[in-house]
């Protein structure tokens, strides 16, 4: 629907994502940090769900976090600036990167 474009940000969808991240990802999935940086990014493997995904976090936040899941490219992009539940879970779990969660609230 065309008029939905004026609603740039869906707060409920964003909040749902945070709860899903806390509930499903943090409880069920395994988040493994790769030992070395890859092209300047800290890389995390998220396993234990229906598919495995890779989350990349820029340590100085020069770029927003990225995830290989389809949600990051689709619904999360419209509703939460690309912050899918995997990215949210990784950021919640790693205090040094937690400030990057702010982007989802701006």
Closest CA to 43 of 30, 59, 29: 59
CA 79, 85, 89, 90: dihedral to nearest 10 degrees? Answer: -90
Is there binding between residue 90 and Zn ion (CB under 5 A)? no
Piece of the chain touching Zn ion by CB under 5 A; list 4-12, 57-65, 66-74, 90-98: 66-74
Task: Determine the straight-line distance between the first and last CA of the chain, rounded to whole angstroms.
Answer: 24
Check binding of 89 to Zn ion (CB under 5 A). no
Place of tokens 């707060």: 11
Shortest reach from residue 93's CB to Zn ion, in Å: 14
Q: How far apart are CB 3 and Zn ion at their closest, in Å?
A: 28
Three-state secondary structure call for residue 79: helix
Q: Per rule CB under 5 A, is residue 91 in the interface with Zn ion?
A: no
Instruction: Quote the least distance from Cβ 13 to Zn ion, whole Å.
Output: 14
Minimum CB distance to Zn ion, residue 89 (Å): 9
In this structure, the number of other CB atoms found within 10 A of the CB of residue 44 comes to: 25
Task: Report the interface residues with Zn ion, using CB under 5 A.
Answer: 67, 69, 72, 84, 86
């Amino acid at each position: 629907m065309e008029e939905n474009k004026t609603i740039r940000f869906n707060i409920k969808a964003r909040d749902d994502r945070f709860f899903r991240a806390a509930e499903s990802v943090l409880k069920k999935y395994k988040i493994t940090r790769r030992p070395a940086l890859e092209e300047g990014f800290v890389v995390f493997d998220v396993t234990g769900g229906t598919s495995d995904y890779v989350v990349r976090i820029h340590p100085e936040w020069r770029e927003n976090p990225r995830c290989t899941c389809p949600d990051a490219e689709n619904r999360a992009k419209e509703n939460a600036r690309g912050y899918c539940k995997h990215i949210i879970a990784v950021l919640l779990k790693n205090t040094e990167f937690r400030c990057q969660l702010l982007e989802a609230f701006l």
